[in-house]
Chains A and B, each alone.
Chain A
């Protein structure tokens, strides 16, 4: 399988969530790297150059995920990785709602490539990842 080599990065402050999702991704033969906060996330993105990023919206502060996503997509520092697809992962965004999506855009922040609710269903996660990796 050619996509078995894709490298996925999980940035999330919940160690159990990182652990569980790492197992899910590894079961599908993805390579996984993780970071427990935005600061480490920033360093690792540049070092590891992942093929896709799963980014928790709310870490220490309410809008950590937004700022980081915006930085990846627009700042000079990240110009070498700016095309890396980002999926927002959140326990708060309602399945139906777009509360967060709107808020970010209202404030002129660039939006992620996709959203997924926590807890994530393995099949749903895989299909979203594959769709973005194909692009």
Chain B
């Protein structure tokens, strides 16, 4: 890789100083700019964002110390070095206090200039290395769950992909009994994939970073998207699904990725635990401090005694009506964790044999600028 040229701005009112610095630095391969006073120097620093600035302390106009402070403000990564002809301890201390990295005494030899520049650049290099390590570490931490998820899922995905090929008859004809077994095996694999997803969602929640990401979310848009996405699944189960009414504002304060998860889980359940020719209606309404969303189904319902435990991890209701429904018992746990993290609430009322209503309340967004 080609290395980027380092850039240096020299701010000094003495022409001979500027010229000699430029000569030495350009010969050493630096991009060099010079300025004869503080204000034009600062303009150049702002424009070029050099790696390093040499500032003469004593100049007419803005003083060297002020220039120094302003350079630090423009970009704290720039290394400022002050040049001074009258090396009093006081001025040196003052310069260091205000953020100078080093001090160069006039008159100096090319060797001294080079040494001091090299020290400054070494520091930049160290700083950049530390920063890139920090960034890498941060990225791994932030995306840890995504990476684990990827590693757990990849082998399963590869296996399932082969099943698709074999079951699709692409690799040759499959005998009926074999096909039967492969279909069952694929179903088990899919539940395992879902379990991993659910479990990772919970891990993600416990990492708890939702609260930092709250934005104004249009629940109408968000739920519409889920409804459209899940319609094929509903149809397969002979259930009608619609977002049936919206009253007032639909703007809640939330993290849209996680809220998608909440409504997806609730609507999936409403489909899964419904009856043939059943319906699901989703209603959004504005209330005093909350936007309330109801997901009403005409399904098999839930008996009273189960209700307190529904949101517990791995809790599933076992009953004859839905023996065939598989699940991890984590969907509602995830939904509740997400809603709680939003300072909202989730509740359920149900009549066995008639249907259930899941109610989600999310904090209302008052600011309407999205």
Contacts and interface: CB of A to CB of B under 8 A. Distances in A.
Contact of A119 (B139, B161, B264): B161
B164 A119 contact: yes
Interface of B: 139, 143, 146-147, 149-150, 153-154, 157-165, 168, 170-171, 197, 226, 229, 257, 260-261, 264
B166 to A, nearest CB: 9
B168 A91 contact: no
Contacts of A92: 146, 149-150, 153
A27 interface: yes
B229 A20 contact: no
A107 interface: no
Contacts of A97: 257, 260-261
A91 B155 CA distance: 10
Contacts of A122: 164-165, 168, 170
A118 to B, nearest CB: 4
Name the prevailing secondary structure of the B interface residues. Answer: helix
B169 to A, nearest CB: 8
Nearest to B230: A96
Name the prevailing secondary structure of the A interface residues. Answer: loop
Nearest to A16: B158
Contact of A98 (B159, B163, B197, B257): B257
Contacts of A62: 139, 143, 146-147
Contact of A91 (B153, B170, B264): B153
Interface string A98-114: 11001000000000000
Nearest to A96: B264
Interface string A77-103: 000000000000001101111110010
